[in-house]
Structure 1
Amino acid sequence: MPYVRHWLRNSILLFAVAIALGLVAAHTSLIQPHDLDLDRTIQTNTRTGWLNTTMKLVSYCASPVAGVIILAVWAGWLLFVRRRPLAAVSTFLVVAVGWNSTQIAKAIVARNRPPRQFSLDPEIGSNSFPSGHTAFTVAAAIAAYFLFRNSRHRRTVAVLGVLAVLLVAFSRMYIGAHYPTDTFGSVLIAGSAILFVTGVWHAWLLPRLDRIPLLDRFGLAQERAELAAAEGGYAGHTDPYGAHAGPVPGSRGGGRHRRHAGR
């Protein structure tokens, strides 16, 4: 997980901007009519039988049930199969916190969902801002990028992550579960929460992971040694999956932020 300067200030500011956007969208007429018009344009001009089924499936893949399964399998694979406890814990935190931060925003903003008569799959929950499905996808995409950011696959992972977020966001508007600002707000809310997690990770959690005996049984010391070697400017380093990722760009030793950047 990378180190981000001014993480607390930036996370609070981003969260405040997202909440302000949600409150304006939910409780004024500045955004709501345009949101509804765009929803209806998407639904009127693009809905068809096969696409209805596809968008429902896409939406389900980011649903709470599917999200819990994906996160459990992902973190479990990193811990038990790849024996990368740092990667497993950091991935779990990024996805879980980025995803569930939407519940705080939902309670604050309290925006009603789009009219149910236009929905292909009516939601049980009443709070529309932000979209939890989109936030899960944002958090998963960022977690995946963190894992691969020092490998040759980082651009591919970044592009695929952006496409996944856009697809899930579109599916939520397509089926009539969310407004456009709900999906955009998810990016802001999840992003603010993940900024906060990066700071907490480096300031408090990472130095204390040695106190959890279970993690050491799965190779915590070995993973720390590999990261230390990577940050020390050796000829090559390993990504969180143990694959060779080539030289470390600009590695010339210490520096407070350089020390954190490889984590």
Structure 2
Amino acid sequence: MDSSLARRTTIFPGLQSWWWVTAAASVFAATAAAGMAAKSFGPLSPELGLVISLSHGRNSALVGLSEGIHYGLGPVGAVTLVLAICLYLLWFRRRPVQAVAFGSVVAAGWLASSAGKALVGRSRPPGDVTAALIVETGHNSFPSGHTAFAVSLVLASVLVLARSKGQRLALLAAGSFFVAVVAFSRMYLGVHYLSDVAGSVCISAAAVLAWLPVWNNLIAPRISRVHLIQKFETTAPNPR
């Protein structure tokens, strides 16, 4: 087995211990419990005041930005973006392992939000009260899927794509701003409460934290032994 390839297949080596799965499960459970508590207030939650205040005197530029995020990071747009990045890593960078790792981290964090939605079942803010600009109904308010995707995308970029500590810090700073903008847009459109977007950060981060030991201990050692992948990776430009 190529030792350099084995190193490249490991995502953030410091997160290999199975104890991280326990920590992540605790965070997920605590966040879901917080979502249940928020749900108990009903649609007229104390948080509703913030969403209503954002609806007063909406700015056309912010409305355009928020609607662009809504559609751009919706299921179709999000999947297209991740596939494009993975295909770039596979065909242009010739990093099949990195492509799979990136996609798996995003999927872990994003899909966790669907589990949270099913578990909590919180109603959306009442659209007539928030003057919602997007029609969103059903019991899927907590957590925010758009924000969860943004968090997952940022974490995948920091953990998988960054090549140095400096790049990680830069991506984390830019990514934090990106997540904040996405979270704000969901409330600005009147379709989520503050706790919905905050819960997304915790749930997605916890899911990614739980996924890393699985990847590092079970998947990375095996995938690095595949001869075809070894051969493919040896032709990659500028090896990490």
Given that 1:139 and 1:190 are in contact with CA atoms closer than 8 Å, whether structure 2 keeps it comes out as: yes
Q: Which runs of 4+ in 1 moved over 3 A?
A: 210-217, 241-244
Given that 1:79 and 1:218 are in contact with CA atoms closer than 8 Å, whether structure 2 keeps it comes out as: no
Q: In the alignment, what sits opposite 2:66?
A: 55
Given that 1:7 and 1:196 are in contact with CA atoms closer than 8 Å, whether structure 2 keeps it comes out as: yes
CA distance in 1, matches of 2:135, 2:230: 46
Equivalence map 1:1-263=2 (5 Å): 1-3=11-13, 4=15, 5=17, 6-28=19-41, 33-45=45-57, 47-117=58-128, 118-123=131-136, 125-146=138-159, 147-148=161-162, 150=164, 152-210=166-224, 215-219=229-233, 242=238
Q: Which structure would you say has the larger RCO, counting Cα contacts within 8 Å and 6 or more residues apart?
A: 2
- Give % identity: 35
1:82 maps to amino acid: R
Going from structure 1 to structure 2, the CA distance change for 1:242 and 1:37 (only over 3 Å counts) comes to: farther
Going from structure 1 to structure 2, the CA distance change for 1:214 and 1:101 (only over 3 Å counts) comes to: farther
Q: CA deviation at 1:32?
A: 5.9
- TM-score for the superposition, normalised by structure 2: 0.85
Q: Which runs of 5+ in 2 are unaligned?
A: 1-10
CA distance in 2, matches of 1:107, 1:213: 41
Equivalences, count: 224
Given that 2:110 and 2:204 are in contact with CA atoms closer than 8 Å, whether structure 1 keeps it comes out as: yes
2:121 maps to amino acid: A
1:121 maps to amino acid: I
CA distance in 1, matches of 2:61, 2:164: 39
Q: CA deviation at 1:90?
A: 1.0
CA distance in 1, matches of 2:175, 2:224: 32
- TM-score for the superposition, normalised by structure 1: 0.78
CA distance in 1, matches of 2:49, 2:232: 53
Given that 1:62 and 1:168 are in contact with CA atoms closer than 8 Å, whether structure 2 keeps it comes out as: no
CA distance in 1, matches of 2:169, 2:238: 19
Q: Which runs of 5+ in 1 are unaligned?
A: 224-240, 245-263
Q: CA deviation at 1:42?
A: 1.5
